[in-house]
Structure 1
Amino acid sequence: MSLYREPPETITIDGVLYPVDTDFRCWIEFQGILLAKEEDGRKAERLCEFMTSLGLPPSNDTLESMLEFYSAASQEKLAPGKKHPQAFDFEQDSEFIFSAFWECYGIDLSTAKLHWWRFKALFKSLPQDCEICRIMTYRTVDLKDVPKQQKQFYREMKSRYSLGTGNTGYKTEQDMKDYVKRRYEEAQASLSVLRSSGQPGDAGSESTSK
């Protein structure tokens, strides 16, 4: 996210500018679809339905533009090949994230209209002493690096705040972007099959245009 310009309100699809819903809730939902553990055909259908709900043409180009918008808020880098445990989940951690934004920024996430890029910048800048950041530390700390007298405590905290079985194992924005790219390639192949067969999800099919 650039300090010197307003975050974008549009995305470009096939050279055409489309207005897009920039609210963080929309992109958390988009992320949820991308990270859902389901077969690629169903994922492609859900992505097409989501694009249509936003007034966007369901296509590979749209998906690529949405992914660019989704990930462009971060310039965070991670050493390639390094795997991290999952630090947070926007849905499962919603109460902690709500409390952190209220405490640190005075923002009520239940009513605030907040651009996705701004939301992510604020989320990543939460102070380390807030509850959600402590929980993220518990989840991601390597017990090999913890002093012997503290290991039991961290084991208990890891157990107490463990995420549900549907998590994907990302820690940083780069982890997420790498995972999204893989899922995109799989969904892209499924979208191509749907388009060629004329099934729902084809931007030119009769069922999609209704």
Structure 2
Amino acid sequence: MFSLYQKLNDDVEISGIKYPLNASFDVILKLIDLLKEKRLSDINKLRISIKLVFGRDTELSELSLETQAEAIRQVFDKYLKDSKADKPVKRDLQGNIMPELEEDEKEILYSINFDAEYIFASFMQAYGIDLIEQQGQLHWFKFKALLAGLPEGTKFQQVMSIRSWEKPSKSKDAHETQMKKLQRIYALPEEESEVI
């Protein structure tokens, strides 16, 4: 959780040992994509997740699958889990808890992957931040806060405004026709359904 008065502690504690992790925005985005990957088994997802988040040389990769699953669950709870929803827990073949991305019930207006160019351009426009140069540096919580605070004049906010536009009345006019055309142009593909 993002806090203005607490230092960001990017580690998890397993059996009294703290394991440092990389919580930069690009690593967390890769983790999200990995968790949604359908071609990998749960065990392979777990092993790749450990190396992605904790580094290739982490001692966690030598511990039991249950311990590794607990470490990833802590990462998921700390960085990705929406505290508002309590969904049933999914388990892998060995009974280990597997993290799962929670979906918001409201309409999804953006996709980090599909809208990457708009997000990149908007960060440059609004903050002068080059997200490519910030890979491995910009913390996930900071990224989320900056994304949520993008001003209306940015391309990302314009596209979100178009996607969320609804006809104000039953009258059909040129504005409605134009907005519906823009909604089709900027619509997300069906397979994009991530929530952050």
**TM-score strictly above 0.5:** yes
> What corresponds to 1:68 in structure 2?
77
**AA aligned opposite 2:165:** V
Does the 8 Å contact 1:126/1:133 carry over to 2? yes
**5+ residue gaps, structure 2:** 86-102
The question of 1:48 aligning with 2:25 is answered no
SS at match of 1:166: coil
Deviation at 1:67, TM superposition (A): 0.6
CA distance in structure 2 between the partners assigned to 1:63 and 1:123 by the alignment: 25
- Counting aligned pairs with the same residue, the percent is 22
CA distance in structure 2 between the partners assigned to 1:19 and 1:90 by the alignment: 26
Does the 8 Å contact 1:127/1:133 carry over to 2? yes
- Structure 1 residues 82 and 101 mapped into 2: Cα distance closer, same or farther (>3 Å)? closer
- Let me know the Cα RMSD of the aligned residues: 2.9
- Structure 1 residues 14 and 126 mapped into 2: Cα distance closer, same or farther (>3 Å)? farther
Q: Which has the higher contact order (CA 8 A, sep 6+)?
A: 1
Map Cα deviations across residues 175-205 of structure 1 (whole Å, 9 max, x no partner): xxxxxxxxxxxxxxxxxxxxxxxxxxxxxxx
CA distance in structure 1 between the partners assigned to 2:150 and 2:170 by the alignment: 23
TM-score (norm 1): 0.66
Deviation at 1:24, TM superposition (A): 0.8
The runs of at least 4 consecutive aligned structure 1 residues that moved more than 6 Å come to 144-147
User: Any residues of structure 2 matched to 1:105-184 within 5 Å, and which?
Assistant: 105-112=127-134, 113-143=137-167, 148-149=172-173, 150-168=175-193, 170=195, 173=196
Deviation at 1:4, TM superposition (A): 0.9
**AA aligned opposite 2:148:** K
The question of 1:28 aligning with 2:50 is answered no
Map Cα deviations across residues 140-169 of structure 1 (whole Å, 9 max, x no partner): 334577974333222212211122232126
Deviates more, 1:110-119 or 1:141-150: 141-150
Deviation at 1:25, TM superposition (A): 0.5
User: Any residues of structure 2 matched to 1:8-27 within 5 Å, and which?
Assistant: 8-27=9-28
Q: Which has a greater percent of helix?
A: 1
**AA aligned opposite 1:168:** S
CA distance in structure 2 between the partners assigned to 1:46 and 1:147 by the alignment: 51
Does the 8 Å contact 2:35/2:45 carry over to 1? no
**AA aligned opposite 2:192:** N
- Structure 1 residues 82 and 17 mapped into 2: Cα distance closer, same or farther (>3 Å)? closer
**5+ residue gaps, structure 1:** 174-210
The question of 1:91 aligning with 2:92 is answered no
SS at match of 2:190: coil
- Structure 1 residues 148 and 64 mapped into 2: Cα distance closer, same or farther (>3 Å)? farther
CA distance in structure 1 between the partners assigned to 2:149 and 2:193 by the alignment: 23
CA distance in structure 1 between the partners assigned to 2:192 and 2:48 by the alignment: 23
Map Cα deviations across residues 94-113 of structure 1 (whole Å, 9 max, x no partner): 11111111111111111122
- Structure 1 residues 71 and 134 mapped into 2: Cα distance closer, same or farther (>3 Å)? same
- Structure 1 residues 117 and 153 mapped into 2: Cα distance closer, same or farther (>3 Å)? same
Alignment size in residue pairs: 165
